[in-house]
Amino acid sequence: MENIHSDTRPELELRAKVLLAESYEKEKHWLEAVQVWKQILETPADILADMGKPLYHLALCLAKIELPREAEQYWKECEIKSQSDEKNAASMQLALLYLDQKSLTNLANQLGVISRNLASSKDWKNSYFTLENLQELFVKAEKFALNEERSE
């Protein structure tokens, strides 16, 4: 990043920052990745066409450093602003977060968000989560709901 000068094309600077953030993630340097993803989100909209990837990955890194509320905020924003795979991946992450938090109401609402756009299982296409991951989530949610029902 030191070699990027003020006269560097903004698209190249953005690409360099994305590569740096991804590198930090691969090395599990979550705090550094958070900082770079936040810098990326400051990129003007005419250069950063879809905010989905930085929002999703920022949330993922925040979750890794055990900041679930902050992660939730960015995944929700990703659901709204993304036009790519990250939108459904953020929905999945939120459902998993609510399952982990044992929040049945939030979980049920999130599963509704996920299934709203699916006429059938064939409609699920995502580079982050497979159809099997989605099915597993619904199975876990069902077991959780049944256990909650029994304990009342």
> Tell me: the pLDDT tens digits for 83-128?
899 999 999 999 999 999 999 999 999 999 999 978 888 889 999 9
pLDDT at residue 118, rounded to an integer: 85
| Percentage with pLDDT > 70 across the chain | 94
Q: CA of 7: how far to CAs of 15, 38, 46, 87, 138, in Å?
A: 15, 22, 18, 33, 50
Task: Please name the residues in contact with 44: beta carbons below 8 A apart, sequence gap of 6 or more.
Answer: 10
d(CA 62, CA 98): 16
Share of the chain above pLDDT 90, in %: 80
Task: Report the distance separating Cα 137 and Cα 83, nearest Å.
Answer: 23
pLDDT value, residue 120:
87
**Cβ atoms within 10 Å, residue 115:** 14
Residue with tokens 């989905």: 52
Q: What does the pLDDT read at residue 6?
A: 56
